[in-house]
């Protein structure tokens, strides 16, 4: 993409309504525009990052053996009456009446609808285990939408639902989700700590939230500092292995880590004092096991091996896809702007032409642009007639992790400059070496 042809409405001023850094930078970098309270348009740059996040979520769900589908945003009220949640859910649920007087709602979550799909087609235990998921917009009429995409009213969520014959199988699905979530967040450059939590309106006893530590987080968290040393890394996982998934669950959830809802002073105080931490965190995901809470009232039963009908054991598992963008920025920025982790960056690198119109500089930039594109990468070429300071400020604000700077003076010596957004360090090298470096970083 060439900046002169892109749509990147960068703001000079810091918008007054934004209280936290991720919201400020998303507005300033032209990533989102508020449409109404808690509802946003995703401008091209924001949309690109959203798609990258979504793609990682898809890849890791599919790797874990979960199956994508797509359910609608609008749901009939009848299914929710069957589960008993139509009245229970409260004012967060947006209720709509169509022209025929039928009650609809904009889905805040999809347990009922997926249970209905399941019961319509599955009748034998032989179809199990089964996990279906989708990435779809949700609406929750939050009393205080705030912090931009962090607490929106309309937001994008990955929600998945497992169907299993026994509690034991469903707990394996729970562990499998935990493992896939750890991988997912790490690929986005995030450390998200699983913490024992409260289940809220979804119901059930077993639930963990995944929290990214950040001062601006809405949740108060208590943990043993040893949990922050755990990393998932590049492990080979057999998602069918009950033992392997259970071992990872144990590794990541045995040390004390809880949200304020389940915090236990006595247990916390048993941790050596120097390891006790009280902090704030952003909830970027949650997994639940709730057994037969929906399958029983909604008649989602299968014929077991002995021929008798049994209600299936279920769980649901969510990732806050749009919220993650804010969480990543909260975790990775400086006073000049965003610093995207390579895994989710909207463009792989920036190309800054210090002297637009100079024959050599223009030709070198075009060549870099063509070769990086041919390698399957997406560079953003700042080809505006603008002074160098302005170009650097834009690149720093929008946070591309790598920048190649091209100017007539360097070219006389056969070099361009490659700069890391994270460290600010620059290195001079030939244009060919710069291309090789960027390709190597992204494995392209």
Ligand X SMILES: Nc1ncnc2c1ncn2[C@@H]1O[C@H](COP(=O)(O)OP(=O)(O)O)[C@@H](O)[C@H]1O
CB nearer Mg ion, residue 162 or residue 286:
286
CB nearer ligand X, residue 8 or residue 192:
192
User: Of 227, 322, 325, 319, nearest to 279 (Cα)?
Assistant: 227
**Considering CB distances under 5 to 8 angstroms, the limit depending on partner class, which of ligand X, Mg ion, none binds residue 157?**
ligand X
Among positions 280-319, residues that touch Mg ion (CB under 5 A) are: 286
Q: How deeply is 414 buried, as exposed, middle or buried, from its count of CB atoms within 10 A (0-12, 13-18, 19+)?
A: exposed
- Report the run of H or E that residue 321 belongs to, with start and end: helix 321-331
Q: What is the spatial distance between Cα 93 and Cα 90, in angstroms, rounded to a whole number?
A: 6
Residue 200 CB, nearest distance to Mg ion (Å)? 7
Residue 97 CB, nearest distance to ligand X (Å)? 24
**Considering CB distances under 5 to 8 angstroms, the limit depending on partner class, which of Mg ion, ligand X, none binds residue 172?**
none
Give me the residue whose beta carbon is nearest to ligand X: 320
Q: What is the spatial distance between Cα 332 and Cα 220, in angstroms, rounded to a whole number?
A: 20
Q: What is the spatial distance between Cα 36 and Cα 89, in angstroms, rounded to a whole number?
A: 23
Q: How deeply is 5 buried, as exposed, middle or buried, from its count of CB atoms within 10 A (0-12, 13-18, 19+)?
A: exposed
CB nearer ligand X, residue 283 or residue 383:
283
CB nearer Mg ion, residue 195 or residue 397:
195
Residue 358 CB, nearest distance to ligand X (Å)? 46
Which residues on adjacent β-strands are paired with residue 259?
221
Residue 334 CB, nearest distance to ligand X (Å)? 25
Under DSSP, is residue 58 helix (H, G, I), strand (E, B) or coil? helix
User: Of 147, 247, 254, 146, nearest to 193 (Cα)?
Assistant: 254
Among positions 227-286, residues that touch Mg ion (CB under 5 A) are: 286
CB nearer Mg ion, residue 184 or residue 286:
286
Residue 33 CB, nearest distance to ligand X (Å)? 17
Residue 260 CB, nearest distance to ligand X (Å)? 13
Residue whose token pair is 């494995």: 443
Q: Angle at Cα 200 formed by Cα 34 and Cα 130, nearest 5°?
A: 90
Q: Which residues bind ligand X (CB under 6 A)?
A: 109, 140, 142, 151-152, 155, 157, 200, 283-286, 318, 320, 322-323
CB nearer Mg ion, residue 218 or residue 251:
218
Residue 423 CB, nearest distance to ligand X (Å)? 30
CB nearer ligand X, residue 211 or residue 312:
211
Number of residues this chain uses to bind Mg ion (CB under 5 A): 1
Length of the chain: 444
**Considering CB distances under 5 to 8 angstroms, the limit depending on partner class, which of ligand X, Mg ion, none binds residue 227?**
none
Give me the residue whose beta carbon is nearest to Mg ion: 286
Those residues whose C-beta lies under 8 Å from the C-beta of residue 105, and which sit 6 or more positions away, are 74, 75, 77, 80, 86, 93, 94, 95, 96
**Considering CB distances under 5 to 8 angstroms, the limit depending on partner class, which of Mg ion, ligand X, none binds residue 155?**
ligand X
User: Of 147, 285, 156, nearest to 218 (Cα)?
Assistant: 147
Please report, as ranges, the residues that interact with Mg ion according to CB under 5 A. 286
């Amino acid at each position: 993409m060439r900046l002169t042809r892109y749509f990147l409405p960068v703001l000079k001023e810091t918008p007054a309504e934004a209280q936290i850094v991720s919201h400020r930078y998303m507005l300033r970098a032209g990533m989102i525009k508020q449409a109404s309270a808690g509802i946003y348009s995703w401008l091209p740059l924001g949309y690109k990052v959203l798609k990258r996040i979504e793609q990682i979520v898809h890849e890791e769900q599919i790797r874990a053996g979960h199956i994508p589908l797509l359910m609608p945003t609008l749901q009939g009220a009848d299914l929710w009456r069957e589960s008993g949640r139509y009245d229970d859910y409260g004012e967060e649920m947006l209720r709509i009446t169509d022209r025929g007087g039928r009650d609809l709602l904009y889905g805040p979550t999809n347990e009922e609808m997926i249970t209905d799909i399941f019961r319509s087609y599955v009748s034998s235990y032989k179809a199990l285990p089964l996990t279906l998921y989708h990435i779809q917009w949700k609406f929750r009429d939050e009393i205080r939408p705030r912090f931009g995409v962090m607490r929106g009213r309309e937001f994008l969520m990955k929600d998945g639902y497992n169907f299993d014959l026994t509690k034991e199988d469903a707990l394996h699905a729970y562990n499998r989700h935990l493992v896939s979530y750890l991988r997912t967040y790490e690929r986005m450059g995030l450390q998200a700590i699983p913490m024992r939590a409260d289940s809220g309106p979804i119901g059930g006893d077993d639930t963990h939230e995944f929290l990214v530590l950040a001062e601006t987080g809405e949740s108060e968290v208590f943990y043993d500092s040893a949990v922050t040393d755990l990393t998932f890394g590049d492990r080979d996982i057999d998602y069918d292995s009950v033992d392997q998934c259970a071992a990872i669950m144990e590794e990541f959830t045995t040390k004390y880590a809880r949200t304020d809802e389940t915090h236990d002073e006595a247990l916390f105080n048993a941790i050596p004092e120097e390891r006790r931490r009280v902090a704030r965190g952003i909830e970027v995901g949650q997994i639940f096991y709730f057994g037969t809470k929906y399958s029983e009232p909604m008649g989602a039963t299968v014929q077991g091996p002995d021929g008798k009908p049994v209600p299936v054991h279920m769980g649901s598992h969510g990732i806050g896809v749009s919220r993650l963008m804010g969480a990543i920025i909260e975790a990775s920025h400086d006073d000049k702007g965003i610093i995207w982790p390579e895994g989710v960056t909207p463009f792989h690198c920036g190309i800054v032409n210090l002297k637009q119109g100079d024959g050599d500089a223009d030709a070198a930039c075009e060549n870099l642009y063509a070769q990086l594109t041919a390698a399957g990468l997406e560079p953003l070429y700042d080809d505006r007639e603008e002074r160098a300071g302005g170009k650097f400020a834009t690149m720093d604000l929008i946070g591309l992790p790598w920048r190649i700077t091209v100017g007539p003076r360097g070219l006389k010596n056969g070099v361009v400059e490659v700069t890391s957004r994270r460290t600010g360090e620059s290195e001079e090298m030939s244009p060919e070496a710069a291309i090789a470096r960027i390709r190597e970083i992204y494995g392209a």
